Amino acid sequence: MTPLEAVIGVEIHVQLSTRTKMFCGCELSFGDAPNTHTCPVCLAHPGVLPVVNAEAVRRALIIGLALGCEISPRSIFHRKNYFYPDLSKAYQISQFDIPICGRGQFTAIREDGSELVVGITRAHLEEDAAKLTHVGSSGRRAGADHSVVDFNRGGTPLVEIVTEPDLRSAADTATFLRQLRQTLLFLGVSDCSMEEGSMRADANVSLRPVGSPVLGVKTELKNMNSFRFLERGVDAELERQRQIIASGGRVMQETVHYEPETGEIHPLRSKEESHDYRYFPEPDLVPMVPDPSWVDELRREIPELPVPLRRRLVGEMGLSEEDAEVLTESPELVAYFTQVAASADPKAAANWIRGELRAQLRERGEDPWQSNVTPDRMSALLRLLEDGTVSMSSAKEVLAEVVATGAEPADVVEAKGLGQISDEGELAAIVAGLVADNPDQVEQLRAGKDKVIGFFVGQAMKATSGRADAQAVQRLVRAAVLDDAEECTGR
């Protein structure tokens, strides 16, 4: 039998973090008392009309532009009809055949540095439904005593991004989604919190013989609330489909749910799937016709995005893929890093920001860009280290002081007398003493146990409260011990 390959496409719902809802003036909220952010419009009282939130349109355009989508010169809203208590009008205002953003493409980078190119089918604007909570034993609808509706969420602006079935593995799917999320964060359009549901992803999963141009029957894996679960869920569903096909069965087109606790896949009842949404153009709204000059302006405002940024950090600054990935986690972090690296060695900057700085700030619950360690102070410290003014261990001490007080690193060095001792004469005296006092270690070093050099450096640091220039100490120890050795063995 021909080997099978996975074919995966995703639909991502992104809640836009606008001030107000998609079609009314209610403020968005998360965690406020239920039904406190509602009005006649989002509760669908008789006679109300929707009005498009211009900021939501702007953000949808920004997303489309960042994904390289064609921007529709004229797009319209449709009504998607279905009865459910989370939908006050019994129709969702969405987009159907003419979305605001058409075809585009997104390139992600895999861990090994290779490119993952995913076609974007469309990105359209719509409104979120209200939040249903099923009260009862299971927290699921089946078996619930009753359900309650919170319309605070109803009408939140959403952008739905749909990809082509271009993904070939669960890992690629997760990689794509992580980097898409990062990109959206850089655009500042959404909080993109999977846990809070401001970013939700459904995956369409199918198998087909490798090389076949025909798509297999797909199932839709619903609403994963983390990338990890999504990756596991896709793998579990692929495995389930493989087994069905291996045993001669046929995959049914259905919606399935992944149970993270058990790792099992459950089909949702197919009755819920027999919807005919009776889409038709929303007569209460006029077409969206964005001014081309406005679109151009938005295109120019798009910041450098994480994927190209990563490439630049690796290519131009010589960082590792891992450093680049970590530093492009958020726009704030990468901005911080680039400011530091502008006047310090980029690799050292990456190491310190990822390592010592993060470790010291963690206890205080601060992020670098909010801390006392401004990019200028961080790069000043790195320069003091680079030119030998401070030793590595003193630098950590200086950093701790900067973190605590916001003092300038050079001032801290001076005030605390942390300047590195690189004076050869002063160090030579200390080294001579160490060599004389530690004959065993001298012997080991002579015997070729080079690691013992660390012992001497440590002792020198101890003697100088960490201010000794470690490299100078090494050089001096070698000179003293090996010259001596030469004397003994040479004749």
Q: Which residues bind another protein (CB under 8 A)?
A: 40, 43-52, 79, 81, 83, 85, 88-91, 276-280, 283-286
Output 89 or 310, the one with its CB closest to another protein.
89
Give min distance, CB of 54 to another protein, in A. Answer: 11
Report the alpha-carbon angle 31-36-38, nearest 5: 115
Q: Which residue is listed with tokens 């200028």?
A: 376
Give min distance, CB of 139 to another protein, in A. Answer: 18
CA-closest candidate to residue 39, choices 102, 88, 93, 1: 88
- Bridge-based pairing of strands 115-127 and 157-163 is antiparallel
Give min distance, CB of 141 to another protein, in A. Answer: 10
Output 46 or 248, the one with its CB closest to another protein.
46
Give min distance, CB of 14 to another protein, in A. Answer: 24
CA-closest candidate to residue 6, choices 149, 218, 191: 218
Output 252 or 286, the one with its CB closest to another protein.
286
Q: What's the CA gap between 12 and 327, in Å, rounded? A: 25
Q: What's the CA gap between 437 and 432, in Å, rounded? A: 9
Give min distance, CB of 18 to another protein, in A. Answer: 17
Give min distance, CB of 81 to another protein, in A. Answer: 6
- Bridge-based pairing of strands 115-127 and 78-81 is unpaired
Q: What's the CA gap between 421 and 457, in Å, rounded? A: 13
Output 30 or 277, the one with its CB closest to another protein.
277
Give min distance, CB of 277 to another protein, in A. Answer: 8
Residue 237, CB-side half-sphere exposure with 13 Å CA sphere = 36
Output 47 or 365, the one with its CB closest to another protein.
47
Output 4 or 129, the one with its CB closest to another protein.
129
The count of residues in the chain is 491
Distance of CA 287 to the CA centre of its chain: 35
Q: Helix, strand, coil proportions of the chain in percent (round to 5)?
A: 40, 20, 40
Please give the structure tokens belonging to residue 353.
């920001």
- Bridge-based pairing of strands 199-209 and 78-81 is unpaired
Question: H-type helices in 93-140, by residue range?
Answer: none
One-letter amino acid for residue 350 of the chain: A
Output 58 or 110, the one with its CB closest to another protein.
58
Give how far Cα 285 sits from Cα of 23, 47, 100, 118, 349, Å. Answer: 10, 14, 14, 33, 52
Give min distance, CB of 284 to another protein, in A. Answer: 5
Distance of CA 124 to the CA centre of its chain: 23
Output 44 or 162, the one with its CB closest to another protein.
44
Please give the structure tokens belonging to residue 446.
């002579």
How many other β-carbons are positioned within 10 Å of the β-carbon of residue 30? 14
Output 275 or 364, the one with its CB closest to another protein.
275
Give min distance, CB of 341 to another protein, in A. Answer: 48
Output 91 or 106, the one with its CB closest to another protein.
91
